Structure 1
């Protein structure tokens, strides 16, 4: 694959990134990406900063049938955790991974390393999730990145296919939609920027 030419501009890419937005899961419908497209998207997802080339992430593909089974198990576990849950809340758990034609779990496999801190590895998994979001959106799909309570619950992670030492950086839902999605208010960029003013005061 050819590399980018130094100094080469891609203004259309900048415009695309300025317009990207998530699609509410309630608007999702089929179809999702076919197998070759999904493989290409995941290849792009893996093309991220990765200090030490540790590849501290992996990807799990959840189809609707998988999502239905997982949803039932998550609903049962959620009810154990909170017996006061309402039926509509349990129904939301049942549908958690089956609202899109395809959901991709971006799993952080970060581990202790003599030179590379775990938090850097977590960031790499987050970058992989964002690459997947961006690439799928560029293909015209509806996309939404969700990280739920299951990432911090060992039993829930096991239901999702994760080992005890792994964490779910996020589940990226991919499908299609018909309705226009209005943009939401965005941050005031100027309020986020400052020039370096010397060491911080303790």
Structure 2
């Protein structure tokens, strides 16, 4: 996947404008009715990032891309430094529901609140299953870089809470930490590219019943609250 920064869709912060300009027609997956796209433009603060597939025929879920860009934008509206950290969470056995992941996210929020007081936490997770007989999860955490100077602290908490549920230690892929300074479009682009990969269609859908294959935090950008 490639991302191209385009200035043709620059917006003034504070104005609520459409965050997406689709380059191709929208399709739906017929099950969850999420929108499937091949390319599109997503806004984060004053920059627009164009999704271009790195692989011919690759497609993405618009809702995951849009929510990811919105949550990163919201975090950057509050904090001048935001760290995006990617984890892969593998499970010890297949489950139809995402109960353990829900428990993990609740425990993570509670631990951070108890240890640091009010902590604004952005996140995106996606459930995937390809050739394996078990699902796995991709998780991107967005944290206040002024509060967490190093990723080691939060990574230790993530590992502790996930293994406590009986699962393997989380996998940290190469280049899984992005330290964004507000206004640094180069690092923001790299972080969003990493998050956008989680929105690919081809490894989702292997589940039974109405089970979510993604979820995000629900942060609102600072200017939307006034």
**TM score, norm. by length of structure 2:** 0.32
TM-score (norm 1): 0.35
Bigger radius of gyration, 1 or 2?
A: 1
Would you tell me which structure has more helix in proportion to its own residues?
1
User: Counting strand residues as a fraction of each chain, which structure ranks higher?
Assistant: 2
